Every structure is written in structure tokens, then in C-alpha cells.
Amino acid sequence: MKIDILNTQGSATGRQADLLDSVFGIEVNEHAMYLAVKQFLARQRQGTHKAKERGEIKGSTKKLFKQKGTGGARRGSIKSPVLRGGGRVFGPKPRNYGFKLNKKVKALARNSALSSKLAAGEIIIIEDFIMETPSTKAMNNILDGVKGGFKKVLLVTKEFDPIVMKAASNIPGVDVLAAKDINTYQLLKGDVILLQEGAVNVVNELCSKYTKN
């Protein structure tokens, strides 16, 4: 399928980008997208939480009072979990929340995200542009010209561009990713995806690896 390419002012250039049907025109699999987003968020968790259990806190192990005859609950030591300052029962321990996801499932989720965005009219192809120095004002002018009324924007560049990334870093709701680094979570997070002309071929090649021809 073909889609018009816009310039940085938002006007048509007369050229069209060729998007693969196997990447941008598949049947959307919502469960695959759910799994991919879940894995992405799980891997962001530090997992460094820790609570001390009964055997890890300081305190005497002497029995506080006799077992029977007091009318109160039996307690073996001052470190009992039912007492203030005692150890916690089954408290959190450091762990890795990440989990494995099949490459084909991740590819299906990514292509589903791209297909759903294109079907909703939320993918815009813009011509390549080069910034000599990072300028928030210049980046704002480009975004205002092409993003329409959308607030959250994902700008996908052909390659990692530190100048463009720095120029967009102070603009709320704008993320910049190299084409090789796109993922389901970031694709779905933005209201609109601005895909640079040079990034189209990279996305087509990257996302067609595990698709059925």
C-alpha cells in the first residue's frame, strides 16, 4: 500500500511511501499486543523491593512468657510477626519481573500495532530533515506543521539522531526512536506516529522478518 509523504510544513510532496501489507495491513491481534506491552512494562521494574523476615531482624529469641495460662496469644520471641517491629510474613524479595516472549509473538504484536495505527489514520510519513544544532523551537515548528491535533507523538527516525532527540526532549508528549528500536508499547503510547521517509524501508525490513509471505 502507498501513503503520501508530507514535508515539514505539512504539505504534500507529491511522493508516496510504499508500506508492506504484511506489516501495515494485517489483522490486528490484541492479545499479542497485550503480552508485548506487559513484557515491556515488566522489564522496566527494578524488582529491588525487600522486607525483613523474622530471621533477619535484630531482637532476642527469648520466649516472652509461658505458653499457657496468660489468656493471650502464644509468642515465641519479640521478633514475632504479630508484634510491632517484628519480622514480616512472606514479605517481598528482590526478583526479576521479566518473562520470555516468543520472537514471532513480539513481531505479530508490533505489526498489529502498526496496522491498527494506520487503519486509524494515526501514521504520518514526513520527509527526512536534518538539524545542525538541537533547537526546541525548530522541532516545535515541524511538529505543529505535521502532527495535526494530536498531543502524544512518536517520531521515528531512520537512525539514532542525538540532535533530534535532544531537540524534542523538552517538548511534553514527544518521544523519538530510531526505526530499529520501535516496540509495541511505544507505538501504542503515542496518539500519532511520525515516520521519517528514510525510516520506512528500515521498518519494512525489520518488521517483515517473522511474517508469513
Cα 164 to the center of its chain, rounded Å: 20
The helix (H) or strand (E) run that includes residue 13 is strand 12-18
What's the order of all strands across the beta sheet hosting 192-196?
12-18, 2-6, 123-126, 192-196, 153-157, 174-178
Same domain, yes or no, for 158 and 192?
A: yes
Q: Is the same domain home to 18 and 70?
A: no
How many structural domains compose the chain? 2
SS3 38: helix
Would you mind telling me the total number of residues written for the chain in this entry? Answer: 213
Residue type, 148: G
In this structure, is residue 213 part of a structural domain? no
Compute the radius of gyration of the chain from its Cα atoms. 27
Indicate whether 59 belongs to any domain.
yes
Which of 162, 87, 161, 153 has the alpha carbon at shortest distance from 124? 153
Q: Structural domain of residue 57, as residue ranges?
A: 51-91
Q: How far apart are alpha carbons 208 and 213 in whole angstroms? A: 9
Domain final position from 35, 65, 91? 91
| 70 and 173 both lie in a single domain | no
Q: Is 22 in the same domain as 116?
A: yes
The percent of residues above 90 in pLDDT, for the chain, comes to: 66
Which DSSP letter does residue 88 get? P
Is there a domain that residue 212 lies in? no
DSSP-assigned beta bridge partners for residue 16: 4
Mean pLDDT of the chain: 91
**Domain for residue 105, yes or no?**
yes
Is the domain of 111 the same as that of 156? yes
Of the listed ranges 14-23, 48-57, 204-213, the least confidently predicted one is: 204-213
Same domain, 155 and 73: no
179-199 as b/e, with b when 16 or more CB fall inside 10 Å?
Answer: beebbbbbbbbbbbbbbbbeb
Please tell me whether residues 58 and 133 are part of one structural domain: no
CATH of the domain at 129: 3.40.1370.10
Is the residue at 27 inside a domain? Answer: yes
Residue 96 resides in a domain? no
Boundary (domain end) residue, out of 72, 91, 110: 91
Cβ(35)–Cβ(154) under 8 Å? no
User: Do 122 and 189 reside in the same domain of the chain?
Assistant: yes
Of 182 and 145, the structure prediction assigns the larger pLDDT to 182
On whether both 20 and 106 belong to a single domain, the answer is yes
pLDDT tens-digit readout, 113-170: 999 999 998 999 999 988 889 999 999 888 888 877 788 999 999 999 899 999 999 8
Residue 125 located in a structural domain:
yes
Select from 67, 91, 115 the last residue of a domain.
91
Residues 37 and 137 occupy one common structural domain: yes
Position 115 in a domain: yes
Mark whether 12 and 114 lie in a shared domain. Answer: yes
Q: If we measure between CA atoms, which residue out of 2, 24, 23, 6 comes closest to residue 14?
A: 6
| Amino acid present at 55 | G
In the predicted model, is pLDDT for residue 213 greater than 60?
no
CA distance 16 to 29: 27
* pLDDT value, residue 212: 61
**Same domain as 162, residue 115:** yes
